[in-house]
Structure 1
Amino acid sequence: MNKNPSIKCTVEECKYNNTHERYCTLSSIEVGTHEKNPTEAQCTDCNSFELK
């Protein structure tokens, strides 16, 4: 499985995670939020996430 050395990822449940090296295999990701006014890192989401 290829990896994108610019995108680290520790979410092993994601379809695009290279679990051996802890990187994303996508060429780019989309980051979004589930909050109206995000103020903390916990308010953000990887919108590219897909369950394995």
Structure 2
Amino acid sequence: MQANDSIGCTVSECRHHAKNVQQCTLNHIEVIKHGPTATTKESTDCGSFERS
């Protein structure tokens, strides 16, 4: 798949990482939260992550 210039990513362990550049290959990602209210970036994650 082709890198998406709009989604930066440094998680090279993800199946959707572009490998040759620090970008995601998905057209759309889902950002999820760990509780009822997200108050810090640590309380959110990329829900589209898949281990490669």
- What is the percent sequence identity of the aligned residues? 44
Partner residue of 1:9?
Answer: 9
Please identify runs of 4+ aligned residues in structure 1 that moved more than 4 A. none
- Residue-pair matches, total: 52
Alpha-carbon shift at residue 20 of structure 1 (Å): 1.3
| Alpha-carbon distance in 1 for matches of 2:11, 2:36 | 24
Give the TM-score of the pair, scaled to structure 1. 0.90
Give the TM-score of the pair, scaled to structure 2. 0.90
What are the residue-to-residue correspondences of 1:1-52 with 2, within 5 Å? 1-52=1-52
Task: Output the aligned Cα RMSD.
Answer: 1.0
Task: Tell me if structure 2 keeps the 8 A contact 1:10–1:19.
Answer: no
The answer for unaligned runs of 5 or more in structure 1 is none
Identify which range, 31-40 or 21-30, moves more after superposition: 31-40
